Structure 1
Amino acid sequence: MGWPLLILCLAQFLASADNVTLSIATRALIQDFGASMAQISTANTMYPLISGTFMIAGGMLGLIFGWRRTFRTGCLIYFLAELTAVFSPSVTVFTCAARILAGIGGSLMIPAVFGIITGSFYGREQAIAFGALGAASGFSFAMGPVICGSLLDLLGWRWAFGTLGGLALVILACSVLIPSPQKPQRLVRFDLPGFILSTAGLFLVVFGMLQISTWGMITPFNPPFTVYGFSPALLLVVAGLLVLLMMLRWEKHREKYSGSAMIPQSFLRTAQVRAGLYLTMYIFFAYSSGIFVVVSFVQVVAGLDAIHTGLLIIPFAVCLASTSMGIPLIFRKRNPRRQCRVGLLLGVAGSMLTTCGIEGLNFDISIVTSGLCLIGASMGTVAASAPFLITSALPERDAQQSGGIQAAARDIGQALGVALVSMVMLTAMTFSMKKLTSEVPGMTPQTFQAVKNMTVIPYLSDAGFQAMIVTNGANPQDLAVLTPVYQKSRARVTRAGLLSMTVMTLLFLMGTGKIPVTLENALPKGNKSH
């Protein structure tokens, strides 16, 4: 395993760290480019949108051109993306060139990482390798803000992206050490109709989910247009799902007559594979929902900077990495169903415990850290089984190709987490503020009407809220009594966001019945064929 696995883990770290760097460079980008928050939000959504759209296609391209070649192409495009970011003269170039290139690079590199692991490691070694990928993600979640935050503070955001570009070059140079799994004996031709349908469907689903927080799910917040008075976000998701259903019908026909498809039928017909994809979605759902809520609170409300936020998340990352790597190393014989259920229950306990640590303007660091540790252990416990559940149930060619759909499931899970929590928090904030404001004695009619007329009340710092509410027509003299109401509502909706994660995790728990109690299909090299 050795060096090849380390290089693959660095590639996983690069993809995660790139997104972390962008998320903490928001203020610097606004100042340097003179960009609006909406423009930076678009830049933030571009990577998951593009990468999620093309991930499944990346899985098939690896079979056609070879996994190492696809991996190296993805690394090269990633390097060009970081280079473009460094020299971007405007936010338009940064978003439409650098972020799109990063998404394309990720859609080639990440499925190739899965394909190389599946085609090069077998049995217990494969489980350990997938565990190491989970550990690399955990390390990037914690150390990314610390390392990139330090570069941002000391040298500026361009140096931070330049450093990631240097890492991409190192990975590219070291990729000669990575083994190249053999191509399938039977010729695989690219599925152009399947590519068009999967790209369109995934684009609509991911884009719709990402827009729920700004457009609203059903009641429109501030969308560019409405459909019979409803927000278009959910309709985009539904339209995308319908396109994906059309794609699945085409894929069945395609595989029957050509022997290959963008999504082989084995992905859909095998209950163990479906369970593995389901759990893969949970891993990134848990991160994007739980960590998103906590980071929003500690930065927006408590005022922590990127470095101190990263330090707060380190225990979470340590628990994620230790369980993801430790479980395959320590337990030779495991019960995947029991393990995944324990992992999900840890997520329930972690989100509920973290909720208890959120107060009005502060947080109890011991309680929040303990809750995050449980969430990290939950993600690591599930990550130790989910990829191996998928690959061990498939013929070797399909197992290698599964990297694309696994990566797509991760992106959909992440988008779902952000969409759900954002919707819950914004809806709860708006409802709570309107209700509590009506109960405040002595509030001027001007301020009461200003709050009542707002379609959505966002999650902001005290200063941000005061500026926003005055702009919307509130009487400045009412801020002294209105701000405590906002603080109370903000603490409530933070807890509501974490509780929504609890409810969704319980729903994930209900879908674990198809997970096997043993992995009898984990055969050594040479025993699988297509």
Structure 2
Amino acid sequence: MTTHSSSPQVAFWLPLAVLCLAQFIASADNVTLSIATHALMNDLGASMSQVSTANTMYPLVAGTFMIAGGMLGGVIGWRRNFRLGCAIYLLAELCAILSPSIDVFIWVARILAGIGGSFMIPSVFGLITGLYRGRQQAMAFGALGAASGVSFALGPIVCGALLDTLGWRWAFGAMSLLLIGVLSCSLLIKEPEQSGQAIRFDFPGFILATLGLFLVIFGILQISSWGLLTPFNPPFTLFSLSPALFLVAVGGLVLFLMLRWERIRERRTGSAMVPRAFLHTPQVRAGLYLTAYIFFAYSSGIFCVVSFSQLVIGLNAIETGWLIVPFALCLASCSLGLPIILHKRNPRKECRIGLCAGILGALVTAAGINEHIFSLALITLGLCFIGASMGIIAANAPFLVTSGLPEKESRQSGGIQAAARDIGQALGVALVSMVMLTTLTLSMKNQTQDVPLSSQTRQIMQHLAVIPYLGDTTFNAFMVQTGVKSQDLPALNHVYQRSRAKVTRSGLWAMAIFTLLFLAGTKNIPTGKRNDSEG
């Protein structure tokens, strides 16, 4: 470790606590927004579509600029980049507190939050990589994963309490106070020593990476509302198909051109936004692949459970937070506990066990969901497996990336790791929600053919492009707006409740299937045992 102090334990934990608090804030900020839906609608007159846009703005903007933020840290210094990100994030929270309208909240506060996160989070990775070595680095990354797990549970509980008692502005105000604390305590973090030659910022690569990532992440995020192939309600269609995958494909082409440019630049200058080592080191590719899984599992599994518990069961934010606590405890204990307890580790075995736990967790959680109620025991057990899965992967993935790279590239990896996380998060929500909406629409159309309904209602049901995932009261209002006769509502409600439980299980089954694909990508993880005590 490059930090020198008369107290090694303080020198280790104090900077790490500041960095983990920054990670906690970034996660808790997004959790707070997700539970502030009704408050924003009531106070700012926001529509559901505008709230959805606010929720997607952070992963879209942050994911777009993450790689650039990771390179900028190597140019201006990691601590300075970290403090710059914290300052921008603080400005974003202040704008949220003072927002007079939902437009200011979306287009100023959330965009600034995304930009701040794109500087702050890669710097957290860069500082950990530069300040810690060997087993201490593995423990630091484990603590970082634990901080995310704690925020997933405490966010809904603490921020939900603030929302219910003081209002949503106070919840974002609490984030502001925490950020002021992080900025003040960041003076205690030493700047890592420079590694190798100085890095020059890559402006052509920045433009290509930004455009490519924006198109890929935006396209993925729109799958749930525009449709994968069959169009739901897109602003336009291409050959009668949804444009979502077209945007992803164009973004992928731009990123391919960016990588070609990066090879040329690296040969000329010795530095690149995405160095060659990231693409040609199997261990690093596997680590990035698993990094994406961590937030894929959270966004898909928790999305299904939270949607059902709040819309169907009627749990509020605080009750939902308590439901997620066992999941978060398992995530934090596995993420932080494995590097502390195990000195000799088998990364491939651990990651495969983690992914199998994720598959088991999705299946057990699905088994606990019925039409009107869910089995609390099965839901809790399933979420514990999913949390343990994420924790095990979080204890391995970042260290797999950094330990497989040269010093300079390993510090720069934070932006690429963070971008992988944002893509995984967007992919999880988009794919699972697309599966749920498609399955719900098809199930309703098929089942209503065998239910005694008026011809008008039957015709309306067959012509609906998409049937949304709603609570019973909201579903009835939606059906009335489409022209369904009131006498047909009881029969439709019964079919809808049965279909809704089925598609919630389908979303979790989809998570299990996609986790199998991640399991297939573990072959490049080292098979020998690694001794983390080195360094």
TM-score using structure 2 length: 0.97
| 1:492 aligned residue (498, 502, 521) | 502
Residue 248 of structure 1: aligned partner: 259
Q: Determine whether 1:144 maps to 2:155.
A: yes
Percent identity of the aligned residues?
Answer: 64
Residue 431 of structure 1: aligned partner: 442
Q: Determine whether 1:482 maps to 2:492.
A: yes
Secondary structure of the structure 2 residue equivalent to 1:219: coil
Q: Determine whether 1:44 maps to 2:55.
A: yes
Residue 80 of structure 2: aligned partner: 69
Residue 186 of structure 2: aligned partner: 175
1:517: how far off? 1.8
| 2:233 aligned residue (222, 234, 237) | 222
Distance in 2, matches of 1:124 and 1:522, equals: 4
1:523: how far off? 9.5
Distance in 2, matches of 1:49 and 1:84, equals: 19
Q: Determine whether 1:501 maps to 2:511.
A: yes
CA contact (8 A) 1:393 1:522 kept: no
Distance in 1, matches of 2:378 and 2:528, equals: 36
Greater displacement, 182-191 / 499-508: 182-191
Q: For structure 1, list consecutive stretches of 5 or more residues without a partner in the other structure.
A: 526-530
Counterpart mapping for 1:228-307 below 5 A: 228-307=239-318
Residue 110 of structure 1: aligned partner: 121
Residues 141-197 of structure 1: CA distance to partner in whole angstroms, max 9, x if unpaired?
001000000000010000110110111110000001112112334121100000000
Counterpart mapping for 1:345-424 below 5 A: 345-424=356-435
Q: Determine whether 1:17 maps to 2:21.
A: no
Secondary structure of the structure 1 residue equivalent to 2:133: coil
Secondary structure of the structure 1 residue equivalent to 2:231: coil
CA contact (8 A) 2:344 2:531 kept: no
Distance in 1, matches of 2:156 and 2:335, equals: 21
| Displaced runs of 4 or more, over 3 A | 518-525
Residues 13-41 of structure 1: CA distance to partner in whole angstroms, max 9, x if unpaired?
00000000100001000111111111111
Residue 142 of structure 2: aligned partner: 131
Secondary structure of the structure 2 residue equivalent to 1:102: helix
| 1:469 aligned residue (476, 479, 484) | 479
Secondary structure of the structure 2 residue equivalent to 1:179: coil
Residue 133 of structure 2: aligned partner: 122
Secondary structure of the structure 2 residue equivalent to 1:515: coil
Distance in 1, matches of 2:528 and 2:178, equals: 39
Distance in 2, matches of 1:288 and 1:178, equals: 32
Residues 424-446 of structure 1: CA distance to partner in whole angstroms, max 9, x if unpaired?
00000000000010011x21111
Distance in 1, matches of 2:528 and 2:35, equals: 42
Residues 486-515 of structure 1: CA distance to partner in whole angstroms, max 9, x if unpaired?
000000000000000000001110111110
Letter in 1 for 2:280: R
Change (3 A) 1:198 1:242: same
Greater displacement, 510-519 / 370-379: 510-519
Q: Determine whether 1:515 maps to 2:531.
A: no
1:524: how far off? 5.8
CA contact (8 A) 1:392 1:522 kept: no
CA contact (8 A) 1:299 1:305 kept: yes
Letter in 2 for 1:491: A
Letter in 2 for 1:496: S
CA contact (8 A) 1:392 1:521 kept: no
1:519: how far off? 6.2
Q: Determine whether 1:449 maps to 2:459.
A: yes
TM-score using structure 1 length: 0.98
Distance in 1, matches of 2:384 and 2:139, equals: 21
| 2:110 aligned residue (96, 99, 120) | 99
Count residues with an aligned counterpart.
Answer: 524
CA contact (8 A) 1:66 1:182 kept: no
Residue 344 of structure 1: aligned partner: 355
1:518: how far off? 3.2
1:387: how far off? 0.3
1:97: how far off? 0.4
Secondary structure of the structure 2 residue equivalent to 1:359: coil
Residue 165 of structure 2: aligned partner: 154
Residue 66 of structure 2: aligned partner: 55
